[in-house]
Structure 1
């Protein structure tokens, strides 16, 4: 079945996305069933005359959405769409639409192979017409957390990306979101024409600020992050909030913790919390999306969707700043 996979080097859709879409379609329709093994990345790459890493990336994305699973020497195995997707209302409705359309195509004289090729082509085109939004961060936990938060707030699928783990030229995003801390770096990476790069504000939970402030009033708070730059950014944001007695730690050895009453660490570094247990009070620095940033992103998304569909903003509705025409970030 996988020998029917075809890729176009001339399409605007990245090759790995073409592979993901076609294999997803085969799995969703049952052409590839649970337990079936996909060809090795090397074999499929050789058959398609493309780089093996491209196929490996496609397989990795299929794994992330739960359609396949890597099983060591057994290779990459299809696990199916899963019961939650099989029984979903959207999937049932889509099946009914496709069944009716397929029957009409058969009556028009098209073969099953022709229908499959046509549906795949139309699906790729429709997918390409959707507004593509990504959120870029420096670690996977924060990238996924904020991507999910943004997705929930703005009602558009947001893809999490981690700096250093993706090929920027293969990411065809219309809108790339990141924090102000990473804005310059992300702009340097995402240099495709018509890609808008926007920075958003993430702020600490009020409860976090209150607890830090209560300790800093009579004691000392230490900041420990993966890099000094990140630690300094957190320190400065706390000082801007009126919290004093904050210092960046040089390490987490006993000598570094002398005189420190509370150590603030990244929300995702639970292993570090365990290392410091019993030595000093530890607080994980949690962040939330700034409300004004969410409103701004919602406006940008709305206007970009209208531009992509070729429609103008509603009468009396001002376009979001920087979005009346596609903005080049290079």
Structure 2
């Protein structure tokens, strides 16, 4: 018998969904919210653990800017899947407001709400300034904002009497996750003993370093006695490799349009997209989307296992930016099947 340690298998970990409520060309935000709820119900039936929505602003292809509101919409339309934020960009908000919003959500849907927090603006600098009435607030204030927010939920974390209370919110056990695409939040999550989610879907080159930093920094807490790391990953799955590569051109166009400053809705897939790239854009796209998993069920299973071997994650959060809703649902069908 070999002494070699057996790594994690795909069936050993949890799988979740990150949805950006995409606005597709020819569609409306109203369509997007219905598609989001359809996907959440589908994910619930398939056994996914959680369904998260992301805060972005001033982006014509993302409808989930009022993230807490959309979380309520999804939670009301489902029954057991956990629903949360991936994430709320805390520097855009007063911590008290987030405590009240998520205290309300947890009161409405007990035991089903997650609060994932990021420190980036989730938008461009002009929009970030429009969001923040106090222009002095920056991502550098994140540790202090996080401490304030956590104290609204658990006053025992504070240094004394709390003159302002979050009602609802106070006393509620709402899991807080730190999200990141670099080492800052990884280290902070470790030091505070919180679960950590890394954005491998757009920052693949920093994944292993951040996860290692999280594990090295981890201190047991009331929340966790050992580290818990989740990784976000783009997965475009279809019946054949060729079909998946075709569907993936929607995601590739999204990043190309962002880099070119083209503010447009999510575009349908196209043939021969590679003919429209410059060498610089190809390199930049690979830098951002290098960990994306695209292919048939067999290809997806192989690549997801390789990604798990590399990261040893406790959970994967799957993002599938696919133009056609039926194809998007089918992609999640395939992921659920190959990870059993």
Which protein has greater RCO, CA pairs closer than 8 Å, 6+ apart?
A: 2
Q: Same fold (TM over 0.5)?
A: no
TM-score (norm 2): 0.25
Higher Rg: 1
TM-score (norm 1): 0.25
